[in-house]
A and B are shown apart, each in its own frame.
Chain A
Amino acid sequence: MDFLAGHQPELLPRNRQLPAQGVIEAPHGTTIVAVTYRGGVVLAGDRRATMGNVIAQRDIEKVFPADEYSAVGIAGTAGLAVEMVKLFQLELEHFEKVEGTQLSLEGKANRLSTMIRSNLGMAMQGLAVVPLFAGWDVDREKGRIFSYDVTGGRSEEHVGYAATGSGSMFARGALKKLFRDDLSEEEAITLVVQALYDAADDDSATGGPDLARRIYPIVTVVSDEGYRKLSEEQLVGTVRAIHERRLEEPDGPRAALL
């Protein structure tokens, strides 16, 4: 093996180049949305993973706690993204234990940025990972959202809402029309579910709430009390109420014209 490594290293499995052409078929996650409210931030994602035109998984989870005070939602190649989140969680926890103090929210966002950038080669092959990062800033005492592009470019969303993934343009449209500065936690939760509903309405790769199978979006809240994931029981009321309203008005709530 040493001989091979010295003379023809490209023959070893770990040194084989990825094919330059051709798309690797792998499950992709789709839409993630985030909204800030007075006491924190809500981060939510739909449950669908697609592989080309096939629904690869109906109940995938794409929103994770990063640590006690932040959450990360992932769009893009599911396998790589989940691994990236696992490594990100590990880094934050490791830093916290070794240093005895938590990283600042900016520090966490920067770290994630570097990790996305290191995946650029894979992204060029069509295996991109584009997360949305949201957390409670303990020093500034407010919820903050950071969005990313494939090259690791990081931008804070000061408007108070953000979306990523294939259904993001539709979700962002809904958020833009419905978002207000003085949302309560319940209103913010309703808003993210509405936005995901709209995304699922227009984007085939985003899954809407599946009432028959009881598969609802993953909704997480990060406030000064830390990270919390809403249980199915806590969410079913909101989802059903939105669904009932949509039976009367399929396009959802209407914003004022002027």
Chain B
Amino acid sequence: MSTPFYVSPQQAMADRAEYARKGIARGRSVVVLQYNDGVVFVAENPSRALHKVSEIYDRIAFAAVGKYNEFENLRIGGVRYADLRGYTYDREDVTARGLANVYAQTLGSIFSSAGEKPYEVELIVAEVGDGPEDDQIYRLPHDGSIVDEHGSVAVGGNADQISNYLGQRHRDGMTLSEALKLAVESLARDTNGGERTLTAEQLEVAVLDRTRPQTRKFKRVLGRQLSRLLEEGSPEPEGEGEGEGGDAS
């Protein structure tokens, strides 16, 4: 039996954080922005079947970057938590804050338990309120901390650079089309300042729309509706969120 080398706890934690951060930065980014009628999620994701953005409950959605199997696991856990809570008490009693807490506990205990490798994921949990001031966006890094975000947030890839870009340009009361175009611009910028073009096929877009009549406010923006929103001029006509496109599936 070989004698293990002594590794200081600080060093062990720093190594684990470094490992998780590298894994997260490898993938493409997801950005989340508030707009006047809710919250929009934009991810660069060519797959139609494997989602980075999903519905959790009536007013709550989830976005993640990192390893698919790990965040899928967390997503299903979140859906279970929300459905069970809503069934036991009431649909109103399921909140993003509660869900973010559960995620923070899970991520935190995995991060600090010596037996397991830390999860290489970063999550966003967002809840749409009755007005823009009631919207909540929480960012959950790999180590189990919670960051309460406002306006715009980016995770994964070169998140710092994108966050900066969004922070300078995002303002309150944007329309869906404006917010969407800003999100796509930010995702299209390369690390070295170059620009790529992202088409509707390469994007996964979903909204939590407070104006939806259904109790479930989550809706994927697909196909023609997405192309139309991307092409739209700055002053957009009324009732643009209607029409064909996805249901809450």
What residues of chain A have their CB less than 8 Å away from a CB belonging to chain B? 68, 86-87, 90, 93-94, 96-98, 100-102, 226
Contact = CB atoms under 8 A, between A and B. Distances in A.
A252 to B, nearest CB: 35
Contacts, number: 26
Interface residues of B, number: 14
Interface stretch (B27-35, B48-56, B139-147): B48-56
A68 B55 CA distance: 15
Contact of A100 (B51, B80, B87): B51
A94 B247 CA distance: 16
B83 A93 contact: yes
Secondary structure of the A side of the interface? helix
A96 B220 CA distance: 14
A98 B76 contact: yes
B249 interface: yes
A52 B54 CA distance: 48
- Going nearest first, the 3 A-B pairs with the smallest beta carbon separation are A97-B79, A94-B83, A90-B87
B14 interface: no
Contacts of A68: 247-248
Contacts of B248: 68
Nearest to A227: B214
A96 B247 CA distance: 12
Interface in B27-82: 49, 51, 54-56, 76, 79-80
12 contacts: A68-B248, A86-B87, A90-B86, A90-B87, A93-B83, A94-B79, A94-B80, A97-B55, A97-B56, A97-B83, A100-B49, A100-B249
B61 to A, nearest CB: 11
A90 B83 contact: yes
B79 A98 contact: yes
A97 B87 contact: no
- Chain B CB within 10 Å, residue with most, of A87, A94, A96, A97: A97
A86 B247 CA distance: 22
Interface in B128-156: none
A181 B55 CA distance: 39
Nearest to B72: A98
Interface string B153-188: 000000000000000000000000000000000000
